[in-house]
Amino acid sequence: MLKKLFGLDKKEESKEVEMPEADGKDLLASPANGEVVPLSEVPDPTFAEKMMGDGVAVKPSEGLIVSPVHGEIVQLFPTKHAVGIKTVNGIEVLIHIGIETVNMQGDGFKAFVSEGDKVAKGDKLVEFDMNLVNEKAESTITPIIITNGDAVDSLEKQENVQATGGETIVMTVHSK
């Protein structure tokens, strides 16, 4: 009776994500609402000089990060400031929320996914407190990096546009 009263009798619904077929092309949407800018505008040479890989960055207008692709969460940093996703075509995407946010030790970040989760484009990944990031870190600018560039045949970027998270295509990646 108590279980029924408090809704504890309901089985947890597992979310099924239908994965698209691998076709050698990934369309990456912006992971956040905001302005899409070149990596050269990121105030960190590791990203600006493409040491981790090529991509774009978003200046988010709010503290919500969504999946830019259909794929699998392969890494969620313990501090929740960065998420790694592998697409069905094998492209590895790193979303790094803000600059110098690792020093926040997860303060102000809330993750909605775990390693091994399958995600669809637009699924909520992480919420973060923009005011806290602005106060405690260097920037809220969020790089989206292709970390396994050796698997990429070509990369087309859409920069200097206003984007809607999970909808506006910011990169087209053709895998080898």
Judge whether 47 and 142 are in contact, CB under 8 Å: no
Residues 6+ apart with CB under 8 A from 134: 140
Judge whether 50 and 39 are in contact, CB under 8 Å: yes
Q: Which residue has the tokens 């992480």?
A: 126
Q: How confident is the model at residue 20 (pLDDT cuts 50, 70, 90)?
A: low
| Domain ranges within the chain, ordered by starting residue | 23-175
Q: How confident is the model at residue 22 (pLDDT cuts 50, 70, 90)?
A: low
Q: How confident is the model at residue 21 (pLDDT cuts 50, 70, 90)?
A: low
Which of the pair, 13 or 175, is modelled with greater confidence?
A: 175
- Each residue's pLDDT tens digit, 52-92: 999 999 999 999 999 999 999 999 999 999 999 999 899 99
**pLDDT score at 44:** 96
Q: Which numeric CATH code is attached to 23-175?
A: 2.70.70.10
- Is the pLDDT score of 14 beyond 80? no
70 is catalytic: no
Residues 6+ apart with CB under 8 A from 109: 79, 80, 81, 97, 101, 126, 127, 128, 129
**pLDDT score at 146:** 97
**pLDDT score at 70:** 95
Q: Find the catalytic residue in 70, 81, 96, 174.
A: 96
- Each residue's pLDDT tens digit, 123-174: 999 999 999 999 999 999 999 999 999 999 999 999 999 999 999 999 999 9
What is the average per-residue pLDDT within 3-14?
A: 41
Alpha-carbon distances of 138 from 118, 134, 135, rounded to whole Å? 31, 7, 8
How much is the pTM? Answer: 0.88
Nearest 5°: the CA angle 41, 136, 67 is 60
